[in-house]
Amino acid sequence: MPSLNITYTDDELEAVRAQAAAEGKSLKQYVHDLSVREQQRTAFVSFARSWSEGHQAEFDEAFPDEAPPPASRGAAAA
């Protein structure tokens, strides 16, 4: 199974160890779970953003008083 060496400062490693202990996990399990959870979060946010953009017109039509003007929507995306 592949593995990974990660370099931390002494202070960073101390903080990560403390957080792992607070969650009742080994350092190895904590770092593993954290990295997998971040990958899953990133995939979820990407899907949610795509889904939202695909349904924006439907939302704007259903809730016309809630829709920002198109110019401000474009500025927020930039």
For 2-37, write each residue's pLDDT tens digit. 899 999 999 999 999 999 999 999 999 999 999 999
User: What contacts 73, CB < 8 A, 6 or more positions away?
Assistant: 56
pLDDT band at 77 (very low <50, low <70, confident <90, very high): low
Q: What is the mean pLDDT of residues 57-70?
A: 84
Phi, psi of 5 (to 5 degrees): -100, 130
> In the predicted model, what is the mean pLDDT of the chain?
90
- The 10 Å Cβ neighbour count of residue 75 is 10
Using DSSP, state whether 38 is helix, strand or coil.
helix
User: What contacts 17, CB < 8 A, 6 or more positions away?
Assistant: 27
